[in-house]
């Protein structure tokens, strides 16, 4: 599984990140809740790992020992939904903007 940056969608190194790692494409922190497999908007504290400590800023680097890359593209990546919508728009001649 190739990890992606939540912020720009750029590919990241396939290794466990340290707190000081940044994305080579956009320079944002890599070890953030938004990049983690346990991040869940609907879960208590927005985290599905019950033993993890609460992290206030989900978009900033942290010391969580349970961090694992999610593998899903972030807001900067190309999601399946956005890709499908773009194909439909192109098919029916909808112009961007």
Query: If you compute the radius of gyration of the chain from its CA atoms, what whole number of angstroms results?
Result: 15
3-state secondary structure 45-58: HHECCCCCCCCCCC
Q: Which of 59, 60, 71, 58 is nearest to 14 (CA)?
A: 71
What's the pLDDT tens digit per position in 11-41? Answer: 998 899 999 999 999 999 999 999 999 999 9
Predicted pLDDT at 64: 95
Quote the pLDDT of residue 81: 58
Helix, strand and coil percent figures for the chain, each rounded to 5: 20, 10, 75
Residue 7 in this model has a pLDDT that exceeds 60: yes
Task: Give the pLDDT confidence of 36-75 residue by residue, as tens digits.
Answer: 999 999 999 999 999 999 999 999 999 999 999 998 777 7
93's tokens: 């001649």
């Amino acid at each position: 599984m190739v990890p992606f940056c939540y912020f720009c969608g750029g590919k990241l190194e396939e290794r466990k990140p340290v707190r000081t790692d940044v994305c080579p494409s956009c320079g944002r922190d890599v070890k953030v809740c938004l990049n983690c497999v346990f991040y869940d908007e609907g879960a208590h504290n927005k985290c599905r790992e019950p033993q993890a400590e609460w992290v206030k800023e989900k978009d900033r680097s942290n010391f969580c020992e349970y961090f694992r890359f999610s593998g899903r593209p972030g807001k900067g990546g190309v999601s399946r939904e956005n890709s499908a919508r773009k194909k439909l728009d192109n098919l029916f001649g909808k112009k961007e903007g």
